[in-house]
Amino acid sequence: MKRLFCAVCCLSLASIPALAQHHHATTASAKAPMTDQQFVDFAAQTDMVESNLGQLTQDAAKSQAVKDYGKMLDTDHTSDYDQLKDAAQQASLTVPNAIDTEHNKALIGPMHKLKGAAFDHKYIAEMIAGHTKAIAVYKQEAQEAQNQAIKSYAETALPVLQKHLDGAKDLLKNKSK
């Protein structure tokens, strides 16, 4: 399980060029700061991927708890994407409107091939890894954003991401009982 989690983390990191070279750094301050545009790209991909996978749970998941969690993520990340668009517009930054090739290949494609308990297991692992990574990036942006609208957006999004991480951990705990 630990190896899977690490592999997932490294996959998530690879989608952020500014951080990819530094993912072995031991302290957060050792990471190269992202530009606000890089953060917006990361946040948009996060929202679109989480929303897409949340919708997928309705057909692919076995557990009703996973389906309910997926529905919440679809709703929350769709709403978050709208808030991100507003903040980016104020900051004169562009927001991607499609999931990039990397996420499609590494995550969306493989998840679409799974069903039932296998889907549930992989989905929960991905949600823990993805939200752990997102929280670290959003925290850094909340401190270091150049633009106030982006900084404010990152601060507002953090509690929702934490709620999602806690929810995924609860799913994992309940599944292993």
Mean pLDDT of 69-84: 98
3-state secondary structure of 115: coil
Tell me if the pTM is above 0.85: no
Q: What is the pLDDT of residues 34-45, one digit of tens each?
A: 999 999 999 999
Q: Which CATH number fits domain 2-6+34-175: 3.60.20.10, 3.10.129.10, 1.10.600.10, 1.20.1260.10?
A: 1.20.1260.10
Burial class (CB in 10 A: 0-12, 13-18, 19+), 154: buried
CB 126 within 8 A of CB 69: no
- What residue spans define the domains of the chain? 2-6+34-175
The counts of H helices and E strands in the chain are 8, 0
For residue 81, is pLDDT > 70?
Answer: yes
